[in-house]
């Protein structure tokens, strides 16, 4: 099992037990050391449902991921944020159902406090106990130093559990010694040297684990290894056939979300339109051509967030001076995206998918970035895997990085992956991330 998987289960399963343990401790404190059986059973059923929502909130906050253990400060603040949301979820549940006899005001406060303390303690125990024990040492082998980018990525993400022990080549391999439980990352062209392949084959029974460099990169960073891709990779990894059942469910979800967003749009439009008009000249809406699935051109609809006199056919940068004061708020809160419910209804966009680009930018990028057009295999989305990884295309290099995440999504697209992106997007909206 990978380090990511092990950390997930070491946090997820005990968290369930800690929630129930916290409930019992809260009742002990509430009832002065004795919990009557009837009281425990009365609390057990409603709180079991609440705990399901609580687990979802912790997931959205990334608290089941290995990254959560990287820094003490981020762990503390994420846990505080998650438990604050959990408290509000529980309050809404109980007070939105007046028919419930149970109104655990004091118990709820004690429960959230005890849960926070126990969860924080458990996280710190895991962080301390497994900080160094779950690290796997890896060697990289290449003929012409073609895996230097991967070596740098492993070093930059050491918290994910891998440590580079060295970078080998044909000249240094004969003198290298390998301990048990180390990993060796191999290139695609290993078969070009039978002697090297034979040397590694001899190590197969010595406890050495071997990785394909593309698979390792993808597993580590959850994005594809763009600089090492070729036509064969796409044929072997991308499903070019339509996923009928998946597409039907996704379309129904898009329509449902579009109807809900449309209602929100109708309610908020007068205020949004007034603020846009009062703070800058120009139209209320921003309409622009974008490239969709299979290269089809469509018009995307948004609230205008930039000055009307500024150019809108270029990338948006950090602290872009073209963005108005109201526009900055609307972008952070994602309110500028509300008019795109029209695109969802028309079917030229989906809730989840790569973000669409302008036609002239796409044509230029297709000339500069190999396989850029492959991102148009699926419908563009309101949110995407690149966006929740804080990747925004404001330069050629950022666009290449964004494409790595887009292709990863296209390769792994499915119900659970879409749900993960949606849940994390909700979290990012409430934490005001993005441009």
The domains of the chain, with CATH numbers, are 3-130 (no CATH), 136-221 (3.40.50), 244-430 (no CATH)
Mean pLDDT of 382-389: 92
The pLDDT, as a whole number, for residue 81 is 85
pLDDT of residue 310: 64
What span, in angstroms and rounded, lies between the C-alpha atoms of 403 and 394? 13
Beta bridge partners of 381: 350
**Does pLDDT of 100 surpass 60?**
no
Most confident of 165-169, 308-312, 366-370, 392-396: 366-370
**What is the Cα–Cα distance from 110 to 19, expressed in whole angstroms?**
12
Residue 380: half-sphere exposure toward Cβ, Cα within 13 Å: 24
Rounded to the nearest 5°, which phi and psi values hold at 190? -65, -35
Which range among 49-63, 88-102, 262-276, 277-291 shows the weakest confidence by mean pLDDT?
88-102
- The separation between the first and the last C-alpha atoms of the chain, rounded to the nearest angstrom, is 37
Residues 6+ apart with CB under 8 A from 217: 150, 153, 223, 224, 225, 228
Q: Which two tokens stand for residue 357?
A: 């680009």
pLDDT top residue among 175 and 111 = 111
Residue 101 pLDDT: 53
What SS3 state is found at 291?
strand
3-state secondary structure of 134: coil
Distance CA 435, CA 427 (A): 15
0.85 exceeded by pTM: no
Across 187-201, 274-288, 336-350, the highest mean pLDDT is recorded for 336-350
Rg from Cα positions in the chain? 26
Give the largest Cα separation in the chain, rounded: 77
Pairing assessment for the beta strands 297-303 and 285-291 based on DSSP bridges: antiparallel
| Mean of pLDDT over the chain | 86
> What's the CA gap between 93 and 47, in Å, rounded?
10
61-94 residues labelled b (16+ CB within 10 A) or e (exposed): bebbebbbbeeeeebeebbebbbebbbeebeebb
Report residue 294's pLDDT band, with 50, 70 and 90 as the boundaries.
Answer: very high
The confidence band for 313, taking pLDDT boundaries of 50, 70 and 90, is low
Distance CA 75, CA 28 (A): 28
């Amino acid at each position: 099992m990978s380090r990511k998987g092990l950390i997930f289960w070491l946090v997820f399963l005990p968290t369930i037990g800690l929630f129930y343990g916290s409930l019992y401790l809260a009742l002990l404190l509430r009832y002065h050391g004795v919990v009557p059986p009837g009281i425990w059973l009365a609390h057990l059923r409603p709180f079991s449902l609440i705990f399901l929502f609580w687990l979802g909130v912790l997931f959205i906050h990334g608290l089941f991921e290995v990254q959560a253990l990287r820094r003490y400060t981020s762990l503390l603040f994420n846990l505080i944020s998650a438990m604050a949301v959990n408290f509000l979820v529980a309050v809404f549940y109980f007070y939105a159902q007046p028919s419930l006899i149970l109104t655990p005001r004091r118990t709820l406060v004690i429960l959230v406090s005890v849960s926070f303390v126990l969860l924080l303690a458990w996280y710190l125990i895991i962080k301390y106990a497994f900080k160094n024990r779950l690290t796997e040492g890896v060697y990289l082998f290449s003929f012409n130093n073609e895996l230097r980018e991967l070596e740098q990525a492993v070093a930059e993400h050491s918290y994910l559990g891998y440590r580079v022990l060295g970078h080998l080549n044909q000249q240094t391999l004969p003198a290298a010694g390998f301990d048990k439980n180390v990993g060796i990352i191999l290139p695609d062209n290993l078969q070009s040297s039978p002697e090297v392949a034979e040397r590694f084959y001899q190590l197969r029974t010595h406890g050495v684990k071997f990785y394909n460099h593309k698979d390792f990169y993808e597993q580590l960073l959850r994005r594809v290894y763009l600089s090492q891709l070729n036509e064969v990779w796409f044929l072997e990894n991308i499903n070019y056939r339509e996923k009928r059942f998946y597409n039907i469910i996704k379309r129904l979800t898009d329509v449902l979300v579009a109807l809900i967003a449309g209602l929100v749009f109708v309610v908020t439009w007068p205020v949004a339109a007034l603020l846009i008009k009062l703070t800058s000249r120009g139209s209320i809406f921003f309409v622009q051509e974008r490239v969709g699935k299979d290269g089809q051109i469509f018009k995307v609809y948004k609230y205008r967030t930039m000055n009307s006199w500024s150019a809108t056919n270029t990338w948006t940068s950090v602290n872009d001076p073209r963005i108005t004061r109201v526009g900055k708020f609307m972008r952070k809160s994602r309110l500028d995206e509300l008019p795109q419910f029209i695109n969802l209804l028309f079917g030229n966009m989906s809730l989840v998918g790569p973000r669409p680009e302008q036609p002239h930018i796409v044509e230029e990028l297709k000339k500069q970035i190999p396989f850029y057009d492959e991102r148009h295999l699926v419908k563009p989305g309101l949110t995407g895997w690149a966006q929740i990884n804080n990747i925004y295309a404001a330069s050629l290099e950022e666009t290449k990085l964004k494409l790595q995440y887009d292709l990863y999504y296209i390769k792994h697209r499915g119900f659970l992956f879409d749900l993960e992106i949606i849940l994390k997007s909700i979290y990012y909206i409430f934490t005001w991330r993005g441009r």
